[in-house]
Amino acid sequence: MTVRDVTDLHEEFDGERVPPGQRETSKFPVLSKSGTPNYDPDEYSLDVWGAVDDERSFSLDEFKAVDSETQRQDFHCVTGWSKLDCEFTGVTFPTLADLAGVHDDAVHVMFHALDGYTTNLPLEECMRDEVMLAWAFDGDDLPREHGGPLRVVTPHRYAYKGAKWVDGVEFLTEPERGYWEKRGYSNTANPWNEERYA
């Protein structure tokens, strides 16, 4: 299996591999605002809507049939730990955007999740190959507490920008704020600038 290594991403941000104020951990801590939500695999769908040509709804099997890849990435939590060399398998955001046909006036994205979590990013920060909707971690199904069946990963931003249990991707023509962004976390979340809290 080919693994695309994107662990040199920090060079783009003129920073060290472990961003300032972060400590490397070999564990994979769990951070969830309200525990792991239940879901029915038969009912689950990933919905894509808003400023797109084709609003889409994928079952898990349908989504897993989309062109996917495996990447080696680092993971930076705003609370101060970084986990290096995570292997995530999934669909890149640009691939998903291509399937939906994003309108020219789309500028922002809101991710929605099964636990009521939301998080937002400018469209241009989503249109990077290392932003993935991932269903596998280190070769196995993504563990439920880490966002299985499907989560977003954002290695260029603190990990709260990556919704676990993602079930919706909404393309917006105006910026909006997600769950933590409304509650004092940085809207921009660049780990190499320590954009932690607003």
Ligand X SMILES: Nc1nc2c(c(=O)[nH]1)N[C@H]1C(S)=C(S)[C@@H](COP(=O)(O)O)O[C@H]1N2
Distance separating alpha carbons of residues 136 and 193, to the nearest angstrom: 29
For residue 87, which of 71, 67, 63 has the smallest C-alpha distance?
71
Query: Does 112 engage in binding with ligand X (CB under 6 A)?
Result: no
Query: Does 160 engage in binding with Mo ion (CB under 5 A)?
Result: yes
Helix (H, G, I), strand (E, B) or coil at 71: strand
Query: Does 170 engage in binding with ligand X (CB under 6 A)?
Result: no
Q: Regarding beta strands 108-113 and 81-92, do their DSSP bridges make them parallel or antiparallel, or are they unpaired?
A: unpaired
Ranges assigned E (strand) in the chain: 3-5, 23-24, 46-50, 56-58, 69-76, 81-92, 108-113, 118-122, 132-137, 140-141, 151-153, 166-172
Are residues 5 and 72 in contact, defined by beta-carbon separation less than 8 angstroms? yes
Query: Does 29 engage in binding with ligand X (CB under 6 A)?
Result: yes
Query: Does 78 engage in binding with Mo ion (CB under 5 A)?
Result: yes
Give the number of residues in contact with Mo ion, rule: CB under 5 A: 4
Question: Given the complex with Mo ion, which of 31 and 65 has the nearer CB atom?
Answer: 31
Site string for Mo ion, 95-114 (x = CB under 5 A): --------------------
Q: Regarding beta strands 118-122 and 108-113, do their DSSP bridges make them parallel or antiparallel, or are they unpaired?
A: antiparallel
Question: Given the complex with ligand X, which of 31 and 65 has the nearer CB atom?
Answer: 31
Query: Does 75 engage in binding with Mo ion (CB under 5 A)?
Result: no
Site string for Mo ion, 13-32 (x = CB under 5 A): ------------------x-
Site string for ligand X, 127-166 (x = CB under 6 A): -------------------xx-----------xx-xxxx-
Distance separating alpha carbons of residues 81 and 27, to the nearest angstrom: 9
Which stretches of the chain bind ligand X, using CB under 6 A? 29-33, 77, 113, 115, 117, 146-147, 159-160, 162-165
